[in-house]
Amino acid sequence: MIRRISGGITAAKGFRAACCAAGIKYKGRTDMAMIVGDVPCRVAGTFTSNKVKAAPVLWDREIVESGAPVQAVVVNAGIANAATGKNGLDLCRATADCASAVLGVPASSVLLGSTGVIGPNLPLDRISAGISAMAETLSATQEAGTAASRAIMTTDTVNKEFAVTFDLLAADGNGTVPVTLGGMSKGSGMIHPNMCTMLGYITTDCDISRDLLVKALRTVVPDTFNMITVDGDTSTNDTLLLLSSGLAGNRPVTGEDESYSLFREALFSVCRDLAVLMASDGEGATHLVEMRVYHADTKENARTLARSVVGSSLVKAMIFGRDANCGRILCALGYAGPDFDPAVIEVYLHGEKETVCFYKDGCVQAFDEEKAAAILAEKKVCFSCDMKMGTEEATAWGCDLTHDYVTINGDYRS
């Protein structure tokens, strides 16, 4: 059984965190964070699909794909180190060298993450000073993890962390041991999404082979981080890393058995909760929007249809305006791409307690406008669509489009 516990990246054994105010761009707040493993860690990662990849993405990807162990992650907010050419890569190397010297770990075991404005160069002196300062305050406490999750925020309004624990057979065969998985993230997207970069870091003490770590992450992301959207803009910096210290004391997970299933389920739950929290904290958002597509013909079509609805500017604006303009849901399903029969599908609006049928038998239905308005006033607004084609389903999450989104993004650099 998977249990939610408090905490984030320091919840699992073998991880310490720190943060500091390096003064990279923001004033009066922390803007750098560091995660350090007590031991070399196995790592899996996924990165932006954008053709224009930020320097830290190029740096991390090479290390993660090499399969070499990782022992530290250094993250900054304020400047993205993207579109910075050779300078940007040189800066990655210098940052890793600095962390290497300060922490006494190989430079090739230091991963990097940046989020913020595209274009400017990072100030190496401040980054270096920040790393030295953080090395002094590394801590395995829950507070240290939480502080790190705050330091990587940009336009986020809340910090984002989740942790879960579950039991696996002990390595010595004597009963079970608790295994923990915790993570933090910032921003609002991954593949489709994102205005200000999604960075996600998940740590675990589960003793699990690197191959299975990679497989678990690869199979969990398509239905979690890749199913959220804020504005359809995929960042140049999106990065999700999963580090395992292997210190839980469990019997190593080396095959796709029940233990692996449990680990994958725990990872799914942390990834989904972080992802939904990012959608709900989308820039300027006042509502979380969920779209569930079921009885679809293929999994990929279900995902595409669900994402199209939460990505529609018109749907997003109507939710902001609490206007039950249900034709827009139908319209967004219709231009998503997958084929379906508009004469048979059914579309519903779900509140916490009530459900309204929007569309059935090829027609928009007469519905109780007051009931719909009450549902649209809830913080979380859910829609569903029965495609009546097969057995696949998918859920996507997004947020509404508000005046504040326009304000935030009309003047992001200043």
Work out whether 58 is an interface residue with its own copies (CB under 8 A).
no
CB atoms within 10 A of CB 304: 18
Are the C-beta atoms of 89 and 124 separated by less than 8 Å? Answer: no
Work out whether 363 is an interface residue with its own copies (CB under 8 A).
yes
CB atoms within 10 A of CB 272: 19
Q: Which residues pair with 288 in a beta bridge?
A: 380, 399
Q: Which stretch binds its own copies (CB under 8 A): 199-207, 289-297, 339-347, 384-392?
A: 339-347
Work out whether 320 is an interface residue with its own copies (CB under 8 A).
yes
The whole-angstrom separation of Cα 357 and Cα 367 is: 7
Q: Which stretch binds its own copies (CB under 8 A): 126-134, 212-220, 290-298, 332-340?
A: 332-340
Task: State which of residues 325, 350, 357, 371 lies at the interface with its own copies (CB under 8 A).
Answer: 325
Terminal C-alpha separation, the chain: 47
SS3 167: strand
| Site size for its own copies (CB under 8 A) | 67
- 12-25 as b/e, with b when 16 or more CB fall inside 10 Å? bbbbbbbbbbbbbb
HSE on the CB side for 236, CA within 13 Å?
19
Q: Which of residues 199-258 bind its own copies (CB under 8 A)?
A: 231-236
Work out whether 313 is an interface residue with its own copies (CB under 8 A).
yes
Task: State which of residues 125, 172, 339, 370 lies at the interface with its own copies (CB under 8 A).
Answer: 339
Look at strands 70-79 and 110-117 and give their pairing: parallel
Structure tokens at 257: 């058995």
SS3 369: helix
State CA 93 to chain mean position distance: 26
Alpha-carbon separation of residue 90 from 16, 59, 208, 215, 261 (angstroms)? 27, 10, 34, 31, 41
Closer to its own copies by CB, 172 or 411: give it. 411
The whole-angstrom separation of Cα 162 and Cα 181 is: 9
Work out whether 10 is an interface residue with its own copies (CB under 8 A).
no
DSSP code for 365: P
Closer to its own copies by CB, 154 or 203: give it. 154
Task: State which of residues 362, 377, 379, 391 lies at the interface with its own copies (CB under 8 A).
Answer: 362
Closer to its own copies by CB, 231 or 393: give it. 231
Q: Which of residues 80-119 bind its own copies (CB under 8 A)?
A: 80, 82-87, 117-119
Structure tokens at 81: 């180190």
Work out whether 159 is an interface residue with its own copies (CB under 8 A).
no
Task: State which of residues 184, 333, 385, 396 lies at the interface with its own copies (CB under 8 A).
Answer: 333
- 10, 165, 197, 304: the active-site residue: 197
State CA 110 to chain mean position distance: 21
Please say if 197 is a catalytic residue: yes
* Contacts with its own copies, 251-290, as mask; x by CB under 8 A: ----------------------------------------
Closer to its own copies by CB, 268 or 359: give it. 359
| Residues in contact with its own copies by the rule CB under 8 A | 49-53, 80, 82-87, 117-120, 195, 231-236, 311-314, 317-318, 320-323, 325-328, 330-336, 338-340, 342-343, 359, 361-364, 401-403, 405-414
* Residues noted as catalytic: 197
